[in-house]
Amino acid sequence: LFHKHHLHQSSRLENEFLALKRIREVRDDFALRGRAELYRVDLKSMASANRLHQGVNLRGHQSWASYEHFQTLLAIRGIEPEEDLADVLDFFSNHSDHELFKERYALSQSEFRKLVQPLIRTGHIVQDFRGGFRTVAEDPSLDRSVLRKEYLRSLVADFPVMTIKQLLSLAGSHFKPEEVKAILTEFEEDETLIKGFLIDDLHEVCWGRKDLLADAKELQPMRDFVLPPSDPIAPYFSGTLKEKFGFGSAYLVFKNGEPAAAFKANTRNRIIEVTDYEGREDAWRIVKEFAWEHQMPLTSEIRIGGRRLSSS
C-alpha cells in the first residue's frame, strides 16, 4: 500500500514537483511532503505553477487539483445547481473577480459567501490559484455511470487489499453501499480484483489486487512515519483510527509498518501543537522526526504515564 502510494522509502519521489504529478488531488503540504525526498516549494506556489484549482472533493474536503478533475467530480455527483443561483454560475463562467460581482449586485462579503458557498460544496464553483472564482462547466462527453465505475476502479487499482467499508470511506458519501458492492462484484468477475479473507486476523471479506499482494513479498520493511489526516489514503485507516485509538480524524503514527499511536494537533503559525495523544510512548520519537522533516517546532502539554512528552 505505502509503496504504491509513494510513501515507502524505496518509492518516494525525488522532489515535490514529481510528487504533485503522481497525486490526483492534494489538500495540503503535509499530504505531499511524505511522498517527496526533497521539498523546497510550498503547495500554493506549485498550485500557481501548475495552474491548479481549489474545490471540494467527494469526501467534502477542500483540495487542490486540475480543473478537469473537478469536472469529473461534478459529473460523478450529478447534482443540479439551484435555479436561483444561475446568475452566479453565468457570471463566473466569464469572469473570476468576485469584487466585480459584489459591486454589480451591491453585495456585502457575507452576502456573497452565502450565495457562493452552496455552489462550492456541490462542486459547481472552484477557486483558481489567484483566489478568483470559476464555474465548473459540465462536459457533455462524460457519461456519469461509466465515470462512477471507472472512478472506483482507479481507487482500487492502488490498494492491494480493502474491505467494502474502506472503499466507501475512500470514495465518499456520493457512493451508496449497494452500488459499491455491485461494482466490486463486477471487478471480481472481470478479474480486476480477487475476493476472500485476505488479511490475517480480520474475519471480514476483502477484495484485493493479486499482483500487488504478490509483489509485496519483495519489498523492504516500511520506514517509521506519520500519516496526516489530510493524506489521500487516510480514510483507508479510519476504522483502525477509531477502534484502536478512539479518534475520528487524527495523525496516525506507524512503527515497523503497523499503527503504533495517533495524535491530534493544531498546526497554526507553523507550529505542531499536539493536543491529544494515544498509543505507545516510544512512538513519540517518530512524531518528533515528523516535525523535524516538516521544519516545524513541536510543542505539547501531553503526559503519558505521568511524564510530560518532550518537545522539539
Nearest CA-CA partner of 52 in 35, 69, 36: 69
Average pLDDT over residues 28-56: 91
Q: CB–CB of 275/267 below 8 Å?
A: no
pLDDT, tens digit, 9 for 90 and up, residues 48-61 = 989 999 999 999 99
Predicted confidence at residue 192, as pLDDT, reads 85
Q: Name the strands in the sheet holding 272-279, side by side, starting at the edge strand that comes first in the sequence.
A: 225-227, 251-255, 258-266, 272-279, 298-300
pLDDT, tens digit, 9 for 90 and up, residues 165-185 = 999 999 999 999 999 998 899
CA distances from 43 to 36, 39, 51, 151, 312 (A): 12, 10, 12, 25, 24
Max mean pLDDT among 85-94, 138-147, 151-160 falls in 85-94
Q: CB–CB of 153/187 below 8 Å?
A: yes
Average pLDDT over residues 117-136: 95
CB atoms within 10 A of CB 192: 16
pLDDT band at 222 (very low <50, low <70, confident <90, very high): very high
Q: Which H, E and C letters describe 220-268, residue by residue?
A: CCCCCEEECCCCCCHHHHHHHHHHHHCCCCCEEEEECCEEEEEEEEECH
Predicted confidence at residue 8, as pLDDT, reads 94
Domains detected in the chain: 13-135 (no CATH), 144-218 (1.10.10.10), 225-308 (no CATH)
Predicted confidence at residue 201, as pLDDT, reads 67
Predicted confidence at residue 191, as pLDDT, reads 85
Looking at every residue in the chain, the average pLDDT score rounds to: 91
- Using the predicted structure, report yes or no on whether residue 203 has a pLDDT greater than 90: no
Stated length of the chain: 312
d(Cα 133, Cα 95) in Å, to the nearest integer? Answer: 8
Average pLDDT over residues 276-293: 94
d(Cα 167, Cα 165) in Å, to the nearest integer? Answer: 5
pLDDT, tens digit, 9 for 90 and up, residues 244-283 = 999 999 999 999 999 999 999 999 888 999 999 999 999 9
Q: Which residue has the cell 517546532?
A: 297
- Using the predicted structure, report yes or no on whether residue 92 has a pLDDT greater than 90: yes
Considering Cα of 138, then 143, then 145, then 150, what sign does the dihedral take? negative
pLDDT band at 307 (very low <50, low <70, confident <90, very high): low
Predicted confidence at residue 288, as pLDDT, reads 94
pLDDT band at 200 (very low <50, low <70, confident <90, very high): low
d(Cα 167, Cα 181) in Å, to the nearest integer? Answer: 10
Give the CA dihedral 248, 250, 256, 257, nearest 10 degrees. Answer: 60
Predicted confidence at residue 303, as pLDDT, reads 78
φ, ψ at 27 (rounded to 5°): -90, -40
- Using the predicted structure, report yes or no on whether residue 93 has a pLDDT greater than 90: yes
φ, ψ at 55 (rounded to 5°): -155, -175
Strands (DSSP E) found in 62-193:
62-65, 125-128, 133-135, 161-162
Q: CB–CB of 2/222 below 8 Å?
A: yes
pLDDT band at 234 (very low <50, low <70, confident <90, very high): very high
Q: How far is CA 113 from the centre of its chain?
A: 25
Residue type, 308: R
Q: CB–CB of 251/265 below 8 Å?
A: yes
Q: Which residue has the higher pLDDT, 54 or 199?
A: 54
- Using the predicted structure, report yes or no on whether residue 304 has a pLDDT greater than 70: yes
- Using the predicted structure, report yes or no on whether residue 112 has a pLDDT greater than 80: yes
Predicted confidence at residue 175, as pLDDT, reads 94
